[in-house]
Structure 1
Amino acid sequence: MDKKKDQPHVHHSGHNHEAEKGKAASQNKAEKDDHEHGGIFGKNTEMIFAIICAVALAIGYGLTFMNGLPAWSSLAFYVLAYFFGGFFTAKDAVETIARGGFEIDFLMLVAAIGAAILGSWAEGALLLALFSLGHALEHYAMGRARKSIEALTDLAPPEALVVRDGKERMVPIEMLVLGDVIIIKPNSKIPADGVVIKGEGAVNQAPITGESVPVDKMPVDDMTIDYAREKTIKAVHRVFAGTINGTSVLEVKVIREASDSTISRLIKLVNEAEKQKSPTQLFTDKFERFFVPAVLVLVTLLCFAFLVIDEPFARSFYRAMSVLVAASPCALAISTPSAVLSGVARAARGGVLIKGGKPLEDLGELNAIAFDKTGTLTEGKPQLTNVIVLNDFDEAELLRLVGAVEKRSDHPLAQAIIKGIVEKSKDIEFPEAKQVKGVTGRGVEAEVGGKKIFIGNRALFKADKIPQEAQDKMTELEKGGHTAMLVKIGGVFAGILSLMDIPRKEARQALEDLSQLGIKKMIMLTGDNQKVADAVARQIGVTDAWGDLMPEDKVAAVQKLAKSEKMVAMVGDGVNDAPAMAKSTVGIAMGAAGSDVALETADIALMGDKLESLPFAIGLSRKSRSIIKQNLWISLGVVAALIPLTIAGIASIGPAVIAHEGSTLVVVFNALRLLAYQNQYANSATKQKK
């Protein structure tokens, strides 16, 4: 029997995957228990208890208008309302006290007990009915935001069609091992991270990277490479679990186990982000630590108001209970977490991983953004940009001979030249080049068809007199940021080639979007010379370009920006730029899908290699900050209004409860508006092309 197929897969570290999965499920359950209450009616128990409480209250209140009934008949229904309305409130209060603290549930319970002592059973039952109903609706609304995150777990299918021993069989994705070959049928979800080894077609990566346009995929060139150990894999070869195949059949080699896939790590990081508190949340927590004891002191003093003013103890005690209800900061406690959770969930759906409330809030406060050039603002690889003919040389012949020489070289510039020539003349055939010799730092020389050919920079031709026309054109190209090379064929200067790491198509539009969002400074940092930096800057529209920088210079540049602009982000690939990211207010990694280092080092990870995700993330942050501020004003405003009204006796427990619980629901549903936030920058690349 094949153990690999019939036993749970065991990691190299010795941990059983099924056990780890069970442990993770238990942890998730424990986390959810803080927010949801189950029971005899399942996950809806809290809501059903709240409804029973409200019904019992209504019946008890109705019985008071019926003559001839004993007084205990309505009291029995009020007691029933107390039980169902106070069950989870008391449960939470006891658990909190057992941990050595007390919170809002405790305050509500004390107020309800106080009302019962005074004989105001109806008002106490109303308090518990609205409080329990409010909490049930609050947990339901918060669950909506969590489900937006948990829905990511459903993206990957539970099973995969794997080829083993020449046979196809369906296996659970947990049973897949590195090196397995899986078959992806048309219009089906991809079950695991891997590389394409057979078939070509487009894959919809929007669930993971947020890209709106399907990405073309094709097989890897070398099947013998262990791609599970490769740090960089071209996007055209790589696929992710949870993405959707197009109309072609693809065969994919698995390079990550289910528990280690990009989508699994994304879910884990988003769940961790939920636990990290934002600056506003830290402020509200600190505020509550001082505010709640102050309320208890005030309530205690109000209980003895009858000693100072002419009123019975019952009146003073009732007023104190009303103040206790009015001052409980329920809405304040939930206002920021609900907004942060909704914002992080919406960002994840848009292909942006935000690691907690702090980067979510900080992102909206940025005054400046520093960008790495290569691979961030530019394509990251040189491309043939110009072919200039000299001395009336035939262009087709120039390309044919240059291609023959460069085809024999493995230099990145040579590969870029060949690619550019093939794109210009698809059916071109290259003759054989002989005696090919590279001249370090200068260029290459060879012989083709009996003709000596030299391709390189000025230093390669220092013994020759370069024509002034060629000198002028090379200088012009170099000022524009191009790398220029002369071509000499058979003793004649035949042409000039230029190459350049060209800007991304969407870069200018993305930077314009950032400018409209109010980002004052956008600085490009690069190790290239200042001329190249200035040329790229002119093409894409950054406000400043700083060239000739070593990695440590980039760190110093970010520190300098932080002093002058206060809030600054660093955008890079998450590897070489990690030190600079660490010194910035917010570190942002480009193209983080599949990159362990980028996911770990950055505060924010743009899962797709798309610059337009950055304006979307900043716009979402601004909206999140706005909603957090609205929630704070609502929650604090209601408390500030209710406390003097209840102290003065103008508002009793009933109106205080309605206003109090109403404000709690308002802030939660206000926060949930973030889940519907629209990415108005999704098509910025398309606009740029047009």
Structure 2
Amino acid sequence: MKKLQLKIPVILPQVPNEKDACVKRLIKELEAEEGLEKVHIADEQADSVPQLCFHYDPDIISIDRIQSLAERTGAEITEKYGHLLIEVNGIRHTRQARTIEKSLLAIEGVLEASATAGGLIRLEYDKRETNLEEISARLEKENLKVDKSSSADEDGFVSAEKDPEKLNEEGKKGKEADHKDKGGHDHEEGEDHAHAHGGIFGKNTELIFAIICGALLGIGFGLSYVASIPDWVSLSLYVGAYFFGGYFTAKEAIQTVAKGGFEIDFLMLVAAIGAAVLGEWAEGALLLFLFSLGHALEHYAMNKARKSIAALADLAPKTALLKKDGKTEEVGIEKLGIGDIIVVKPNSKISADGVVVDGKSSVNQAPITGESVPVDKVPVEDSAKDYSEDDDIKDENRVFAGTINGNNTLEIKVIKEAKDSTLSRLVKLVNEAQTQKSPTQLLTDKFERYFVPSVLVLVGLLLLAFLVIDEPFSASFYRAMAVLVAASPCALAISTPSAVLSGVARAARGGVLIKGGRPLEDLGELTALAFDKTGTLTEGKPKLTQVVPLGDMQENELLKIAVAVEGLSDHPLAKAVVRDGKERLEGKEIPDASNLEAVLGKGIKASLSEDKIYIGNLDLFEGLDERTPSEKIATKVRGLEGGGNTTMLIRKNEEYIGIIALMDTPRGAAKQTLSELKEIGIKRMIMLTGDNQKVADAVAEEIGLTDAWGSLLPEEKVDAIKKLKEQESKVAMVGDGVNDAPAMANSTVGIAMGAAGSDVALETADIALMADKLETLPFAIGLSRKAKAIIKQNLWVSLGIVALLIPATIFGFANIGVAVVIHEGSTLLVVFNALRLLAYNK
């Protein structure tokens, strides 16, 4: 397995040197990430900036991911490394994509290159050793035209329409290579540009050439049986069939041989020329017809999956109605700035991410989140506020670019520029996902590296068979060519990428972002799921359920004290006490508290007039002083906790005056969702929560979890995930992608819910559920299981046919025509089998 290493300077604010605990914590967290083999401080000069050295597997984790991980844990990574995602025109199939990968990796400074048959190239390179000029020059040598490129800078990925000339110009700017283009996309991704191989018939030239070849072959073959027509007429038609059937084959074969390699195209051409030399023009023309038709249909089939992804980019309208000084004017979405107000008319698409400032309507969010029911939208309370940095916008106020307004006009305040919208990020991440190879694809690539040379040795021996067996050279040649065709692993090469592409495309259409083949396959193999409790399995909105006064205390008086003290805290439970307490007090005056002091994980202390107020769990009072709660009070507290409540005991000076209880109610869909997950084969479903064990057990029993682990601190959740991985091999962590990021990083697959409203969740999770709906999870897992099953089917078909066809051609049971039919048939079979994923429904 290929391993790489890179060094990144560590610049941590207020950290004296690399031996500081912060750096050790950073290293510990990074080493927990899958794909990072080792992280350590490199040996540097005493006066230089300390550098972290990363030993990593590029097939599992990218440089860009390493940088984002390091930044999230506190490091400012200097921009030594570039990350490019380029969309090109001219890659015809998976085998050519691999050739391009090798060519790009030959450029000094390019650390990793991944190309797909879909026309996407992902590059990671050292900016000090190479630049866009060199990269674009190499792409031109490969006869590829750049349609779009996106590069990583301090603001993330920026997409812009490019052409080779412009890309070259940017490359010449040296350090300005990682450009930032404010423009939008005029390029229509929905067009089949990726496979417009040129020619008089445009994008369909290859298919039309194949049909012409078949027509000429058929006419020539038919005329050969008419005695009155000279032989040269049929021969002329066969020559014409050779031209149309062999045009693209010869073009690619010449390009490949010029680079010192050869693929199946070259072998087909050699076999066809051999047939012509031996006078078997009809057989050679048939071979070229079947091969060219198979390739053309393969491109057509793969385009169906690409279109599904390309359609995402076309969701957002290209213009918006900008409201300025009381007037509205139509402008391009690239001209919209944060804070602008846009008007969205009834039944039209929303042009930008924003918040509603005027009007009420229902919005169809299915294009982004996959939700089937439109969501009601209402204006925000404070329309003057800047919401661009606010991560906690209510769903009823937030709208996304590409979603569809209902029957009423809305006025929306823009909170993200077009290039940073949720839709733009989703398109970029889905495109990048196509370039991330799955474990099965890596395995098949490795198999082919050994298989192809073995086949060539076998073919070489078969060419010499006439020296041993009493047969003419032509017979040995035919047999060898038939074996070459039979052994060509075309179906194997495309079996996994086609399934991954279809799976990622279908998921995106259902509001699920799957970042590549690895998480797609891993999700399909899971038997255990770990859930964060708050906001994942529950509503995340605790409610005040009980107020229990003790001694002579009155309920209203107890509530006033609780609301006054908790009003100083920004803890979610404190906010719930204040919200529900004020509602119960119905406008009664609340006293002023001061001197708040928090005790981590236990409670708070504060002053109220001359009194000292303590609010917290039983642990707070155990270590406070000798005035511990009586057994009677402790029993009451435990009784409430046993019912699933989170309790707060309140003490005024030395007297215990009451108990308040809150409960975070489970999501309405939680029980049904967990039942569905059990049906599709998830054996263990574990809840990880900071709440006490009794609360955890009560929630687990109510919604049907198999395990509940309570009283966990954030770092203990990470240990819990590690423990689960030892027991279950592969475990997914489901959370919000923000607070749960460390636990997600340590799980096999991190799944974030409600990712459409969180940039952090979009970037950190392996799988992002765009809607904040737990019920999307069975769809995502079911789709992944189906994808895994289809990948296995494709592998058995592609390997099985090769295993049967090689001996059949060696022993003469199948000639070269049969070999071509079965070879092309198996390739089309695995592609169309993979396309079944596009029609997947839960």
TM-score normalised by structure 1 residue count: 0.86
1:590 partnered with 2:750: no
How far apart are residue 202 of structure 1 and its match? 2.5
Q: Structure 1 residues 23 and 60, CA, compared in 2 at 3 Å: closer, same or farther?
A: farther
How far apart are residue 28 of structure 1 and its match? 7.7
How far apart are residue 380 of structure 1 and its match? 2.3
1:509 partnered with 2:509: no
Counterpart of 2:423, as a letter, is I
After superposition, residues 315-354 of structure 1 pair within 5 angstroms as 315-354=475-514
How far apart are residue 57 of structure 1 and its match? 0.6
How far apart are residue 446 of structure 1 and its match? 7.4
Which ranges in structure 1 are unaligned for 5 or more consecutive residues?
1-10, 680-690
In the alignment, which residue of structure 1 is the partner of 2:707?
A: 544
The equivalent position to 1:96 in structure 2, one of 256, 259, 263, is: 256
The 10-residue stretch of structure 1 (562-571 or 525-534) with the greater mean CA deviation from structure 2: 525-534
SS in 2 for 1:593: helix
Q: Structure 1 residues 465 and 551, CA, compared in 2 at 3 Å: closer, same or farther?
A: closer
> 1:372, 1:525 within 8 Å by CA — same for their partners in 2?
yes
> 2:565, 2:593 within 8 Å by CA — same for their partners in 1?
no
In the alignment, which residue of structure 2 is the partner of 1:190?
A: 350
Alpha-carbon distance between aligned partners in 1 of 2:155 and 2:719, rounded to the nearest angstrom: 40
> 1:555, 1:579 within 8 Å by CA — same for their partners in 2?
yes
After superposition, residues 36-185 of structure 1 pair within 5 angstroms as 37-185=197-345
How far apart are residue 419 of structure 1 and its match? 4.2
1:530 partnered with 2:693: yes
In the alignment, which residue of structure 2 is the partner of 1:571?
A: 734
How far apart are residue 571 of structure 1 and its match? 1.8
1:376 partnered with 2:536: yes
SS in 2 for 1:634: helix
SS in 1 for 2:228: coil
> 2:189, 2:310 within 8 Å by CA — same for their partners in 1?
no
The 10-residue stretch of structure 1 (507-516 or 407-416) with the greater mean CA deviation from structure 2: 407-416
1:581 partnered with 2:744: yes
What is the root-mean-square deviation in Å for CA atoms of aligned residues?
A: 3.6
Q: Structure 1 residues 494 and 43, CA, compared in 2 at 3 Å: closer, same or farther?
A: same
Counterpart of 1:640, as a letter, is A
The equivalent position to 1:484 in structure 2, one of 637, 647, 663, is: 647
SS in 2 for 1:433: coil
> 1:209, 1:606 within 8 Å by CA — same for their partners in 2?
yes
SS in 1 for 2:279: coil
After superposition, residues 239-638 of structure 1 pair within 5 angstroms as 239-386=399-546, 412-413=572-573, 415-417=575-577, 419-420=579-580, 429-434=586-591, 441=603, 472-484=635-647, 497-638=660-801
Alpha-carbon distance between aligned partners in 1 of 2:760 and 2:294, rounded to the nearest angstrom: 43
| Deviation by residue 1:21-48 (Cα, 9 ceiling, x = unmatched) | 8898899899964x55232111111111
In the alignment, which residue of structure 2 is the partner of 1:200?
A: 360
Alpha-carbon distance between aligned partners in 2 of 1:603 and 1:237, rounded to the nearest angstrom: 27
Alpha-carbon distance between aligned partners in 1 of 2:248 and 2:537, rounded to the nearest angstrom: 54
Percent identity of equivalent pairs? 65
Counterpart of 1:580, as a letter, is A
> 1:623, 1:674 within 8 Å by CA — same for their partners in 2?
yes
Alpha-carbon distance between aligned partners in 1 of 2:348 and 2:462, rounded to the nearest angstrom: 67
1:677 partnered with 2:834: no
SS in 1 for 2:662: strand
How far apart are residue 641 of structure 1 and its match? 1.7
The 10-residue stretch of structure 1 (62-71 or 545-554) with the greater mean CA deviation from structure 2: 545-554
Q: Structure 1 residues 533 and 312, CA, compared in 2 at 3 Å: closer, same or farther?
A: same
How many residue pairs align between the two structures? Answer: 659
Q: Structure 1 residues 129 and 16, CA, compared in 2 at 3 Å: closer, same or farther?
A: closer
Counterpart of 1:504, as a letter, is R
In the alignment, which residue of structure 2 is the partner of 1:8?
A: none
> 1:406, 1:415 within 8 Å by CA — same for their partners in 2?
no
Alpha-carbon distance between aligned partners in 1 of 2:739 and 2:154, rounded to the nearest angstrom: 29
1:652 partnered with 2:815: yes
Q: Structure 1 residues 111 and 294, CA, compared in 2 at 3 Å: closer, same or farther?
A: farther
Q: Which structure is richer in relative contact order (CA contacts within 8 A, separation 6 or more)?
A: 1
| Deviation by residue 1:302-351 (Cα, 9 ceiling, x = unmatched) | 22211111111122212222222222222222211111110110011111
SS in 1 for 2:504: helix
SS in 2 for 1:252: strand
Alpha-carbon distance between aligned partners in 2 of 1:656 and 1:324, rounded to the nearest angstrom: 9
Q: Which structure is larger by alpha-carbon Rg, 1 or 2? A: 1
In the alignment, which residue of structure 2 is the partner of 1:7?
A: none
Counterpart of 2:738, as a letter, is V
TM-score normalised by structure 2 residue count: 0.71
Alpha-carbon distance between aligned partners in 2 of 1:29 and 1:154, rounded to the nearest angstrom: 7
Alpha-carbon distance between aligned partners in 1 of 2:500 and 2:656, rounded to the nearest angstrom: 64
Larger helix share, 1 or 2: 1
Which ranges in structure 2 are unaligned for 5 or more consecutive residues?
1-152, 163-180, 598-602
How far apart are residue 494 of structure 1 and its match? 10
In the alignment, which residue of structure 2 is the partner of 1:4?
A: none
Alpha-carbon distance between aligned partners in 2 of 1:38 and 1:55, rounded to the nearest angstrom: 22
How far apart are residue 255 of structure 1 and its match? 1.2
The 10-residue stretch of structure 1 (459-468 or 269-278) with the greater mean CA deviation from structure 2: 459-468
How far apart are residue 173 of structure 1 and its match? 1.3
| Deviation by residue 1:417-457 (Cα, 9 ceiling, x = unmatched) | 4544688x8xx84233345568754688979xxxx999956
